Structure 1
Amino acid sequence: MKRILGLLGGAALCAHSAAALACGATNEPFYVRSEQGPTGGDVPLNAPLVVELTESTDGPAEPHLSPRLTLVIQGSGEAVELGPAGSAPHLMWVPVESLSPSTTYEARFNSGYEGEPDHSWEFTTGRERQAPLSLEGKLEVTLETAMEPSIVCPPNRCVCNVNDCLAACRSGAPTPVTRARVKLPRALSGFGRRAATVWLTDGTPYDFAESTKGGPDSEPHEVSLGEYATFDDDGNAQDVRITVPEEAAPYRPCFALRVSDDRGDSVEDSLCLSEAFPLADEPAPATGQEEAQEPSTTSSACSFGIASSPSSQVALALLGLLTLVRRRR
């Protein structure tokens, strides 16, 4: 049995869009600008331009966000070519070429709402580039036994109204499951906040290159489950736990990691366990790594996947997704 399971990557707009697709068209939220950057002096030559938005109820009945940003060298008015790389509420533009050293720039932003005035600010570059996002270490995975309550949700109530779904779901007796504890490598350098997406798939690692094209990866996975993680200022993240579903036939669990920063740069890593799941013996703590890929730099995007598992795991994963959507919005 297969189901579509949306992993809504990187911004609250992804969750809003998924809900609109599932439940019919809804009005866009109305946004107001809350902060922008960079500002001040000694700005890295490869810095992105960021505008943070927050939702507001004080707006038109049918708002249509159409943001634009221009960047010019102060004095000469020479325009800088920018490439958009973010989505609401975290808007971002990346200069196509490095900024000039020791130069003052003027940025001008407009949300595109009717009658909205431009907002401008200035910043001055330094002489250095910021080190790119990188990973220190590799993915590590340990299988553990755990007890989880079985969760049963009524059909057709979990698509459009998260609160109704959660209220209608009920817990059954705890059942033994196998969890993968995924230890993430440290995320170093890069710009601003760093966040991770971890995918569990069968047979081969999740293909992020395909997901950036607007759909799931091209591999015919029977298992495709995702989780989010964030990093602290020192680049450390808490371990990610994913319940490993049992399928009709044993399969080799594979794990894929993508870490992204505020510039939209990403680094990736992956591994596949050496033994098939379920194991022949009880899953005592075990680790395995095989065919781990070298980190590579790509662009970030929302991604979607397909998963399958027994009915009790379907309900459990669905509840986890709804909780994820509520937390991200």
Structure 2
Amino acid sequence: MRGHYVAALIDLLVERGVDRAEFLQDCQLQEDELNADTLIDQRRLERVTRLAAERVQETGIGLLVGRRLNINTHGALGYAAMASASYEQALQLLVKFYSVQAPKAYFELRTCDGCYELACESSFTLPERPWVTTEFLISSIYTSTEFLLSGRMQGVEIHLSYAEPPHVALYREIFQAPVRFQQAFTGILIPFSVARQPLPSADPMAASLFTKRCESIQHDERDEQLPRRVKEMLYAGAGEFPSQTELASRLHMSVSTLHRKLAEQGATYKALLAEVKKELALQHLRDSRLTVDEIAQLLGFSDASNFRRAFVGWTGETPSEFRKRCL
């Protein structure tokens, strides 16, 4: 996810009394990473989210942060959306290019009974607050939708697959549209009549310019950041790590092309998988109460002895020795 989205969360935490420097240190972040040009990797993003939930009592921080993000926050994608001929066209751009802003957020545009269903999904959740990351996506996209349509949102609904959270009243305050929980999908329901409205900010030349910019960024990210993307996909599949064949399929390339592109960046699937397992092992040993045997199983080792052997190879000490040193 782009660093300036994380900055919006940290700004909110600071307003709630959280020490900025201390929080950045705990999240292993630098101040100069909190900008639109930097992608925060999945591991640190999950850590930021978890620590944020621990530092403040409010359970609706995802909604509050997403609400702060206006259309300009989304960079070239936001400008392309504003210049689109209709909201329908803007939705199509969102689905195609949102990975430029947040590689691990997924959107799908479907049709159903005279409406579009803009379904969204985050790559991870917090077990204790499973709604947080989804709320961020929903509220940020809703805020942009409200702006693009100039409030002309008759028939728009918010659908959520989970039950009402403790802060349900905040939903009624933020969303000027019906909010329905325990639905078949999570996202926004938009009637065709609303989606096909012409946008007042439509500008064909600007739309073409910014769409090409999105395409360029996406292409660069796919090639230059492939090792990072592979690692993020491995993190997302922790416990059942995707195979090379599965990764290649998700990345829309052959296994041989995946090998070649990784090699061009000085990486291999085997080495990236080992890095992910090492980083997850260090995190679990440092931050969780899982036993060494449980961590070994979680990371896909056939038994604890194989895990210990691998860990010694990574760090020069056993898992137990590392854990004692961290206490």
Higher helix share: 2
Bigger RCO of structures 1 and 2 (CA < 8 A, at least 6 apart): 1
TM range (shorter): under 0.3
TM-score normalised to structure 1 length: 0.27
TM-score normalised to structure 2 length: 0.28
Higher strand share: 1
